[in-house]
Amino acid sequence: MTCRIAVFGTGYLGATHAACMAELGHEVLGVDVDAGKLAKLESGEVPFYEPGLTEVLERNLEAGRLRFTSSYADAAEFADVHFIGVGTPQKKGEFAADLTYVDSVIDQLAPLLTEPAVIFGKSTVPVGTAERLRARARQLAPAGDDVDLAWNPEFLREGYAVRDTLHPDRVVLGVDRALPGRAVEVAREVYSQLLDEEIPFIVTDLATAELVKTSANAFLATKISFINAMAEVCEASGADVTVLADAIGHDARIGRRFLNAGIGFGGGCLPKDIRAFMARAGELGADQALTFLREVDNINMRRRSRMVELARDAAGGSLLGARVSVLGAAFKPDSDDVRDSPALNVAGQIQLQGAAVTVYDPQAMDNSRRLFPTLNYATSTLEACAGADVVLVLTEWKEFRELNPDVLGTVVRGKVVLDGRNCLDVDRWRTAGWQYRGLGRAASEAVVG
Ligand SMILES: NC(=O)c1ccc[n+]([C@@H]2O[C@H](COP(=O)([O-])OP(=O)(O)OC[C@H]3O[C@@H](n4cnc5c(N)ncnc54)[C@H](O)[C@@H]3O)[C@@H](O)[C@H]2O)c1
């Protein structure tokens, strides 16, 4: 059955969700306050890098199933299913999430709802938000209690967003257990093709649904910081964290995924989500339960400093006047997202210590320039590395993992490579005459003098 859907917020989450809902055959209107973003989307251009999304966008624009607007009135008139996908960034100077944008969607949309409608929240929010928004929507809407609000957290990964939206691991839906409205039935219609694939559909209360998302992110952040803590101990003891990760990862209870030691996590989700989770637990009087996340955050940030130290050592004890090439700026490969990117953060710190830093990333150049306009930017790996004393690989793009060290060796001034993601083939680089240093691997093991 075809649903008429509006998606509020057309960023990484919302644009993907809107295009993918149209791909499922629904009629979809994407709503945003950013006119530039809307113009791009309307012309078939995805305003960010996400593999496969352009094709889905173009196909559905052409089929007439997907449109974009800045008008809430048009959205309220057109759709009876509304998804909230606006941002929930960290508040400036605080750990808590800034809920201004989700609040604003409800405050603008609800007064326009004169007919029965269901609102699904997808943004990542602190537990308790959905209940508050549900009451507010019903209070503001002329349709009153015929407006239902449920929470349907999003688990997509940038770089795999289309696949994750069309074939998710699970669909989670939080509803008001005391007053179950139409949300479950409508979600079944919206996601009928997914549910036909027997993707687990977990219906629960609003608080649990919100917590599923934040606790999943807390777990993933903890797993990364765990292996990075092991990396610190490996560095101190002369052990090799990559072998350690392989060995413990064979235990199915542990698993190898998300156990790559390196410069740690970043992006628009994990850092702000674990902080917002700590802040919310504090408000609920459960702060002790999450104090470990502060350590998870600390371990993560220490890795960035450690990378800067390694670069300083590699430059002979001072970065002043050194030429440093940074390969990678996005917070992870297959994305152009530089929000809280460890790579750019390290590049910035190295520059502050007096080095001339040149950055290259296959997709994140424009976003990086906007965030760090004072760094130098190159248009290719070879250009970035020309004359370099030290090369840092800070985002594990395939293009960097497969670099030919012999070729790169012909353009640099010093054959020194620091592998911030433990993604290079150590033997290959050493055989090509490079000094190699990875995080969590003892200097004596990894450096060829
Ligand atoms: N990016 C991801 O991989 C991902 C994955 C899962 C969950 N999330 C969550 O999804 C939410 C959105 O994240 P994102 O990465 O897409 O953010 P984003 O910054 O890319 O997009 C947010 C969009 O909302 C728009 N917006 C702001 N106020 C608006 C309003 N009042 N009405 C309509 N549009 C408005 C902005 O212009 C922007 O285009 C966050 O809560 C995030 O934590 C993101």
What is the C-alpha to C-alpha distance for residues 86 and 6, in angstroms, rounded to an integer?
A: 12
Task: List all residues 6 or more positions away from 186 whose beta carbon is below 8 Å from its beta carbon.
Answer: 3, 81, 118, 148
Sheet holding 435-438, edge to edge: 376-377, 356-360, 323-327, 390-393, 416-419, 435-438
Binning the chain into helix, strand and coil, the percentages to the nearest 5 are 45, 15, 40
Tell me which of 7, 8, 13, 125 to substitute to probe ligand 1's pocket, judged by most ligand atoms within 8 Å of the beta carbon: 13
Q: Do 214 and 270 touch, CB atoms closer than 8 A?
A: no
Ligand 1, residue 10: give the atom nearest the CA: 39
* Residue nearest atom 5 of ligand 1, based on CA coordinates: 156
Per-residue model confidence as pLDDT tens digits over 71-86: 999 999 999 999 999 9
206 alpha carbon – ligand 1 mean position (Å): 20
**Catalytic, out of 3, 20, 234, 269:** 269
pLDDT for 444: 52
Concatenating the DSSP letter of every residue in 193-219 gives HHHHTT--EEEEEHHHHHHHHHHHHHH
Instruction: In the chain, count H helices and then E strands.
Output: 20, 14
* Residue nearest atom 21 of ligand 1, based on CA coordinates: 11
pLDDT for 157: 97
Residue 363 reports pLDDT greater than 60: yes
What is the C-alpha to C-alpha distance for residues 280 and 301, in angstroms, rounded to an integer?
A: 21
pLDDT for 86: 98
* Mean pLDDT of the 296-308 span: 98
- Identify the structural domains of the chain with CATH numbers, from first to last: 4-199 (3.40.50.720), 228-446 (3.40.50.720)
Ligand 1 contacts (CB < 6 A) are 8-14, 31-34, 37, 85-88, 101, 104-105, 123-124, 154, 156, 158, 268-269
269 is catalytic: yes
Taking the alpha carbons of 259, 265, 269, 275 in that order, is the dihedral positive or negative?
A: positive
Instruction: Single out the residue of 425, 422, 414, 411 nearest to residue 380, CA to CA.
Output: 411
Backbone angles phi, psi at 327, to 5 degrees: -100, 110
Residue 447 reports pLDDT greater than 80: no
Tell me which of 7, 41, 86 to substitute to probe ligand 1's pocket, judged by most ligand atoms within 8 Å of the beta carbon: 86
Residue 181 reports pLDDT greater than 90: no
Q: Do 110 and 103 touch, CB atoms closer than 8 A?
A: no
The letter for the amino acid at 222 is: T
What is the C-alpha to C-alpha distance for residues 447 and 89, in angstroms, rounded to an integer?
A: 40
* Residue nearest atom 10 of ligand 1, based on CA coordinates: 123
Instruction: Provide the percentage of residues in the chain whose pLDDT is more than 70.
Output: 99
List 151's β-bridge partners, or say none: 121, 174
Average pLDDT, the chain: 97
Q: Do 58 and 8 touch, CB atoms closer than 8 A?
A: no
What stretches of 259-339 adopt beta strand conformation (E)? 323-327
pLDDT for 179: 87
